Amino acid sequence: MNKAENSCSGKNCCTPNKSISCTVCECVHHCTGENYCSLEKVKITTHEKNPTECRCVDCSSFAPKN
């Protein structure tokens, strides 16, 4: 099994949502071969009191692969 075939697991995995581009292939929801998320929607949050730039925000729907 190559990396692309083996890189995605979980519910609805590898049914890419073309509205959610993502390169976090360590996430269980990620479809590595296409660099899209497989979820219908994701929750974006911040870990900062006063976010001022892109790195201040996170995808709270992230879940690690096993």
Tell me which H or E stretch contains 46: strand 44-46
65 with 9: CB under 8 angstroms? yes
Does 8 engage in binding with ligand SF4 (CB under 6 A)?
no
Between 7 and 61, whose beta carbon lies closer to ligand SF4?
61
- When asked if residue 62 is in the footprint of ligand SF4 (CB under 6 A), the reply is yes
Contact residue for ligand SF4 among 4, 24, 56, 57 (CB under 6 A):
24
Of the candidate spans 4-12, 29-37, 49-57, the one that interacts with ligand SF4 by CB under 6 A turns out to be 29-37
Report in angstroms the alpha-carbon separations of 23 from 12, 28, 50, 64, 65.
Answer: 17, 12, 25, 14, 14
